[in-house]
Every structure is written in C-alpha cells, then in structure tokens.
Amino acid sequence: MTTTRSTTASLALSAALALVPLGSAAAATGAAAPAAEPGPAVAATDPGAAAPATDRLVVQFRDAAEDTRDVVYAQAADRAGGTALVETAATADGAQVVRTDAMLTGTELEALTTALEQDPAVEYAEPDLLATTAAVPNDPSFAAMQWSLWDDPAGVGMPLAWDRATGAGQTIAVVDTGITAHPDLDANVLPGYDFVSTAENGRDGDGWDPDPTDMGDHPDAVLCPNSPMTPSSTWHGTHTAGIAAADANNGQGISGVAPDAKILPVRAVGACSQGYITDVAAGVRWAAGAPVAGAAANPNPATVINLSLGVPGECPAVLRSAIGEALNRGIPVVVAAGNQGVDAAQSAPANCPGVIAVAATDVSGALAPYSNFGSVTLAAPGGDPYAQILSTGNTGTQGPGAPAYTERNGTSMAAPAVSGAVALLREAAPGLGVAGLQDALTSTARQAPGGCAPGCGAGIVDPVSALIAAQGGAPFGTAGGIGALHRKISATTGEPRSRELCALGGTPCFQEFSNGWIIWNAGLGARWELFLPTQWWTVPTAR
C-alpha cells in the first residue's frame, strides 16, 4: 500500500448553464502517474463477516440419552426466551442437528447457544450455518488493479457482496457523454437515447435521437475557447458505465460493481464535456420512464440513475423537477459530489433534494483532496493520481476508436460504485423504497480509515453490510481474535459499528466499535485503541 498522498485533481467549471462530468481532467492511458502497489489477490473469505440468520443448531452431548437431551432443550429454551427445539438428524460424529421454531441471529442466537452450553451434559452448541463461496471473478484486472473493489480498508469488499447479489434484473441509467462499443459492456447495454439538443454540441448532425453513441467530447476552439481540457476525448460515459456494471467472469478486463445489471446509456453531455441542464433533465425523466415530449418512450425504465456531472450553484429548478419525478417513481438518483474541494452544498446536482450524493476517497481510504465534502450522503473510492480507478474506455483521441481500459480519478468514479451497490440492494431486497435503500447504505457505511475531517456523510459505502441489513440480518458481528477481545471488554468498546476489515495479506485487521477500535495482527494479537491511525497500514506488527 502506497503511503504517498494524492495531489489535487479537478476539472475546471463549465459555463453557467452547462454541466461537466466529474472525472479527472485527463485519463491515464500510459504511465503518467504511479500505480498503487497491486498486492496479492483478494482473500476468499472474510473472518469478520457477520453470521447470517439460521434456524438450525449443532449440539454435541456428553453421552446423554434422548430423554436427557429433551430436558436440556426445554431448559435452554426457557432460559433463552421460549424457542422450541426439535432434533432432526445426527451428524457423522454423533452431534445432534436441532431445529428452532424461528430464524435466529445476533444476540438471540448467542443467548440460545450459551444457554445450551451452560448445561453440563452439553460439550458444545453452535449455529449450523450455510457456507458460501467468496465470488472472486476471473477477469484478469480484478486481482491486479481494481483495488477499489477489494476487501481491504480502502476498498468496498465486492467478493463478499457478490455472494449475495450481482445486480440481476436491475437497470442502471448512466446519464453522461454516451457510450462506445466495448466487449466488457456490450452484453449488458440496453437501447438508450441521445438528448444532446444541438448538432454542433452533439457532433452527430442532429438533435435528440435514439443513438446514445459518444461522438467524443474533446474541446472545440469555437464552442469552448481556452478550455482547460486536454485535446483528447474522455469517453467519460463509457468509463462510468464500466465501474457500475462491466461484465464479470468473461475472462477479460474488469468487473463492475453490479456485473449482471443492465446499462441504460443516456447521452446528455457532448463537445467540451458540456451539456445543457435542460438536456440532462430530459435524460433523467426519460431514464425514469416518464414521458418526454419529442422523444420515444423508454421501454426499459431504470431502477437507479447515475449522474456523474455537475454545475456550480443552487440546484436548477428544471433538474430538481426531473429528479423529483424519478424519486416519485421509486428510482434512486446517485450523483457525484463534485471535484472542487468545497462543501457539496455549493454544487448541483449534489445539492438537489433527495439525491444520494457521493464523495470520493483515495487509495489510503481518506477523503480525496479534490473531492467535495460535508453535505454528502456517503463516500466511495474515487482514486487519486497515484492510484486511479480502472474501467472501460476507448483509444480514440477525438472520435471513437478501439475499445480500451483506462484509469481516471474523481467523484465521477465514486458515484457509479454506489449506483452499482443500489442495484445489488434492489435485487436482494426488491421491496425497499427509495428511503429504505438509502437507509441500508447509510446505516452500514463505515468510517473512512484514512480520515475524513471535513465530512464524508455516513462514511464509505460497504455493500455486503448493506445487503445483510436489507435482508434483515445483523451486519456487524464479531469473530476471531477481535471477537474474543470484544466479549471480554464489551462494556468499554460498545457495539460494533462496522464489520472486520483486513489489509491485503490478512493482517492487520480492524473493526470499529461505538467507542473506538479493536486492531488485530498476527504479531501482537488484538488490542483496544480509541483512534485508528490515519496511516492504518503502518500499525505495529510486533512488540
């Protein structure tokens, strides 16, 4: 893990009535910035993952007869709240599989197993859990470069989340510069629409049309003289789409956060990375399935809308109305917080009512120095110039060229990670409305381990914990050395506020509690700390 902090990277603001994508000013297609240390492949299990609910226990007796066992079950049930226990089978080593009359988890499950083990006839009692695999995809760049998705304090722990949901049946609308053909996207792309209203800005010879192809957003001497952009097109919409929902397990490239979700490309930004607010608003309405005069009906309404773009000042009324229409239809709208290093209240759509505004964190798990902050909902990895976010791209310098993979950093990269997480939640818990989805994300978000003094909202998104919570489970269990210390000093620590997270290689590990942190590593074991060091990867490993 690199200890170098990133330098500020932000886009110049667009003209008064235009929106700009919120990625970095230049994509790193070569060796312009050093990359993060790749580290070993992601571990296949999470020792701190919370135990799911179960209605089965395994109870090993010390040579107890059946009538004795029945008495033990009845007494334990009385002590633990009246749960009925019925034997269903014996294990290969002679233990009993016992069924409860309800799904139990957390304190209820612990109370029952404790009550059983208090009886001298019982050798042990433990939950009979469903084992799962940690779904590490075979996309070659996942293990090598997609640090933002790893189960690491700076990443969002996607392998564990993919065991629960992959975004199947969901549609992520990417309102952006459009899209280009790419083998890591094509299987997931639905027919979209082009809402760039002027032919010169759209570079396609017309206004609105059903072709969302990105024609290139490179600067134009007439449309945007003295533009701060580099001469090349950014392929910004293709990049954000890949972060949200690039195909997985296809043996090539990368994986998106929701690899089985569909992508609905909505082009609203054209030349000079600019797009009129009215065009963006029309794109949001269309993506939500609302009628838009002059455009064909959308046969595939989105289940989440991503806006990785921004404009300074108050939320424009036309955009506020469009976002309100989407929210009223039950469709969350995820937006980039902005790259000006100021309070997000000063930037739209981050300050539009009801949106999920996303700040960016860097490879150390700290607030990225370019990111807006404060008035945000939560944060996600957006990278920095030394460790950017790898995603789908294009080789074209102006017009479209060949498919490629490029690296960028910005709050534009953080927002689609959260849009992907919303898609996972909508698959796993389809009954959740907009408020319920946002609550699942914010109630399980975790403190930025590298620090976020100006404010990262609820913290860094943690998709697997959000999925567990959305499905009625307890997302923050304790286990291993951290769990053992917590049980001894629980009055000091308070309740867990995050799941256990380990650095690549399995040590050190960290878990946040109400009153501080428990840190564990192989050399020193578990110990209690009030504060996590900002450079969390430098904690001592030996006495």
The single residue of 152, 176, 343, 362 carrying the catalytic annotation is: 176
Q: Provide the H-helix boundaries in 355-512.
A: 411-428, 434-444, 463-470, 480-488, 490-493
Q: How many residues does the chain have?
A: 543
Q: Which of 76, 82, 73, 88 is nearest to 114 (CA)?
A: 76
Cα 291 to Cα 90: distance, rounded to the nearest angstrom: 61
Burial category of 264 from C-beta neighbours within 10 Å (exposed 0-12, middle 13-18, buried 19 and up): buried
Task: Given the residues 182, 218, 236, 239, select the one marked as catalytic.
Answer: 236
236 is catalytic: yes
Alpha-carbon gap, residue 78 to 227, rounded angstroms: 74
Burial class (CB in 10 A: 0-12, 13-18, 19+), 392: buried
Q: CA–CA separation, 402 vs 436, rounded Å?
A: 41
- Give the strand pairing for 171-176 and 304-307: parallel
Would you tell me the crossing angle of helices 66-79 and 106-117 to the nearest 10 degrees? 140
The catalytic position among 233, 412, 419, 498 is 412
Helix H or strand E segment including 286: helix 277-287
Peptide bond into 508 cis (omega under 30): yes
> How would you list the strands of the sheet with 85-90, edge to edge?
85-90, 96-104, 54-61, 122-127
Q: Cis peptide leading into 349, omega within 30 of 0?
A: yes
Place of tokens 């001298």: 120
Comparing CA positions, the residue from 335, 11, 406 lying closest to residue 180 is 406
Whether the Cβ atoms of residue 59 and residue 70 lie closer than 8 Å to each other: no
Strand partners, 378: 358
Instruction: Provide the annotated active-site residues.
Output: 176, 236, 412
